[in-house]
């Protein structure tokens, strides 16, 4: 099963960088152009220059975002701004944040995980990926030979053996890294070098599978990169046979999943105009009295959650969605839950067919709006957002035609589908908060 190993992580020198909050960022895939510029201006050693560099009109094969990242990485190492550990380590990692009105702490650890093809059933995906994102990440990995940000993985450890061993090794000492990011979230990191604790963690993971929560593109890129590096032969122990991950226990009380909503554009005008009428075939529709200032929109979000929730098991298998277009907001609820298999794609498990995101994509986005897999992969028809009120504004402005709102996917649903060897549609989950980029770097040489 899963093989993890300590590694000599590369970290910012506290002598060179007094305030680590000035050099870390969220993951690249949630950074827009405005945020990218902000991180560039924040500090000349901000990790943005390595992980998600700017594109220039003067770029060439010899001078581009990837070659510039490689040059900066090499220079920062020479200047000792970045320094590798003297010994291999695992990194106990805590994130403290607010969600649903209360403080939470999510605990995981950063390690190197041996790369396994999905078909081996050791590391399991749950979402589809897009080729253009993997091509970008591969060029960066080839240029820099490093992982700048960890993949987010989940594993089942009811007894918390792994983090328990690492926490005992950390003892009562203060964290080696402690910072508060721009969102007010706290990050604490302990470097664990104790050989007994490292061995205990490795042994505890030997019978476990890893479910990718976030970072599917980077994991598949790591597989492609390994193929490139091992073309001339490999012993299997080289660093490029591993990828950096932050692993979090499925039973961790701080594990939170939020929904990712959909914004639709470039759909056929006739499809959009007839959407509400077309929905009535499979859904009951109730128009919500949205206030002119939209101040009661959160009441709608709560209503959608309550309609889809079951106090006993988390969901009563009612699939409900929010539909906003032409200034009107509707609650759409699937009519015949017991005959779901009859309207969903054949050849899929009941677990997959029963996902909200599967129902939304197949019955609404594909069937009624005409946006099939090819158009979806093109990226010009569906945009993914965590903004709620902002999604309403995007439709009102005319930038988008329809906003589709969802309840969050359950963690159990993620692991069930992944264990079946199936993948959800892209952006089916949003594990909150995101892992921070820049705490630890993993060299692949």
Q: What is the model's pLDDT at position 55? A: 94
Residue 183 has pLDDT above 50, yes or no: yes
- Is the residue at 426 inside a domain? no
pLDDT digits (tens, 9 = 90+) for 284-342: 999 999 999 999 999 999 999 988 875 443 444 589 999 999 999 999 999 877 778 88
Residue 126 has what pLDDT?
Answer: 81
* Residue 419 included in any domain: no
Residues 94 and 237 in one domain: yes
Q: Is residue 333 part of a domain?
A: yes
Q: Is residue 299 part of a domain?
A: yes
pLDDT digits (tens, 9 = 90+) for 127-142: 777 788 899 999 999 9
pLDDT in tens, 358-380: 999 999 999 999 999 889 878 89
Report pLDDT for 314. Answer: 42
Specify the pTM: 0.82
Kindly state the percentage of the chain with pLDDT values over 90.
Answer: 79
Q: Over the chain, what HEC string results?
A: CCCEECECCEEECCCCCCCHHHCCECCHHHCCHHHHHHHHHHCCCCCHHHHCCCCCCCCECCECHHHHHHHHHHHHHHCCCEEECCCCEEEEEEEEEEECCEEEEEEEEEEEEECCCHHHCCEECCECCCHHHHHHHHHHHHHHCEECCCEEEEECCCCCHHHHHHHHHHCCCCCCEEEECCCCCEEEEEEECCHHHHHHHHHHHCCCCEEEEECHHHHHHHHHHHHHHHHHCCCCCCHHHEEEEEEEECCCCCCEEECCEEEECCCCHHHHHCHHHHHCCCEEEEEECCCCCCCCHHHHHHHHHHHHCCCCCCCCCCCEEEEEECCEEEEEEECCHHHHHHHCCCCCCHHHHCCHHHHHHHHHHHCCCCCCHHHHHHCCCEEEECCCHHHHHHHHCCCCCEEEECCCCCHHHHHHHHHCCCCECCCCCEEECCCCECCCEEECC
331 and 378 part of one domain: yes
| pLDDT at residue 313 in the model | 37
Q: Kindly state whether residues 166 and 197 are assigned to the same domain.
A: yes
Q: How many domains does the chain have?
A: 2
Higher pLDDT, 13 or 409: 13
Q: What is the pLDDT of residues 188-199, one digit of tens each?
A: 999 999 999 999
The verdict on 204 and 68 lying in the same domain is yes
162 within a domain of the structure (yes/no): yes
Q: Are residues 230 and 364 in the same domain?
A: no
What's the whole-number mean pLDDT along residues 256-261? Answer: 90
Residues 223 and 282 in one domain: no
User: Which range marks the domain in which residue 116 is found?
Assistant: 4-256+433-443
* Domain shared by 265 and 251, yes or no: no
**Average pLDDT, integer, range 198-212:** 95
- 200 and 287 share one domain: no
pLDDT of res. 310: 52
């Amino acid at each position: 099963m899963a093989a993890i190993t300590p590694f000599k992580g590369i970290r910012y020198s506290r002598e060179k960088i007094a305030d680590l909050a000035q050099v870390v960022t969220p993951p690249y895939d949630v950074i827009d152009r405005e945020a990218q510029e902000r991180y560039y201006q924040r500090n000349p050693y901000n990790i943005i220059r390595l992980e998600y560099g700017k594109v220039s009109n003067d770029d060439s094969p010899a001078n581009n975002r990837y070659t510039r990242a490689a040059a900066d990485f090499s220079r920062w190492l020479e200047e000792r701004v970045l320094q590798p550990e003297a010994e291999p380590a695992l990194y106990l990692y805590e994130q403290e944040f607010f969600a649903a009105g209360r403080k939470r702490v999510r605990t995981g650890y950063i390690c190197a995980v041996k790369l396994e093809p999905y078909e081996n059933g050791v590391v399991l995906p749950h979402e589809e990926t897009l080729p253009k994102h993997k091509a970008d990440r591969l060029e960066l990995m080839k240029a820099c030979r490093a992982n700048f940000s960890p993949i987010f993985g989940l594993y089942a450890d009811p007894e918390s053996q792994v983090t328990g061993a690492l926490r005992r090794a950390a003892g009562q000492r203060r964290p080696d890294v402690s910072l508060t990011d721009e969102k007010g979230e706290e990050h604490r990191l302990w470097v664990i070098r104790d050989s007994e604790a490292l061995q205990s963690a490795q042994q505890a993971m030997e019978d476990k599978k890893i479910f990718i929560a976030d970072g599917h593109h980077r994991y598949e890129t790591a597989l492609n990169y390994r193929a490139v590096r091992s073309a001339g032969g490999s012993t299997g122990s080289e660093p490029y046979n591993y990828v950096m991950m932050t692993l979090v226990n499925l039973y961790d009380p701080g594990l939170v999943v939020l929904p990712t909503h959909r914004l639709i554009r470039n759909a056929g005008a006739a499809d959009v105009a007839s959407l509400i009428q077309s929905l009535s075939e499979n859904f009951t529709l109730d128009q919500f009295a949205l206030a002119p200032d939209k101040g009661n929109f959160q009441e709608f979000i709560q209503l959608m959650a309550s309609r889809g929730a079951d106090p006993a098991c988390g969901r009563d298998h009612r699939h409900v969605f929010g539909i906003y277009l032409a200034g009107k907001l509707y609650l759409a609820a699937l009519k015949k839950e017991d005959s779901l298999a009859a309207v969903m794609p054949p050849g899929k498990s009941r677990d997959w067919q029963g996902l909200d995101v599967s129902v939304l994509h197949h019955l609404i986005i594909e069937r009624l709006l005409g946006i099939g897999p090819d158009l979806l992969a093109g990226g010009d028809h569906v945009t993914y957002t965590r903004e709620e009120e902002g999604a309403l504004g995007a439709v009102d402005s005319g930038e988008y035609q329809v906003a589709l709102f969802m309840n969050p996917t359950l963690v159990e649903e993620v692991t069930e589908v992944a264990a079946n060897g199936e993948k959800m549609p892209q952006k089916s989950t949003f594990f909150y908060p995101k892992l921070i980029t820049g705490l630890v770097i993993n060299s692949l040489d």
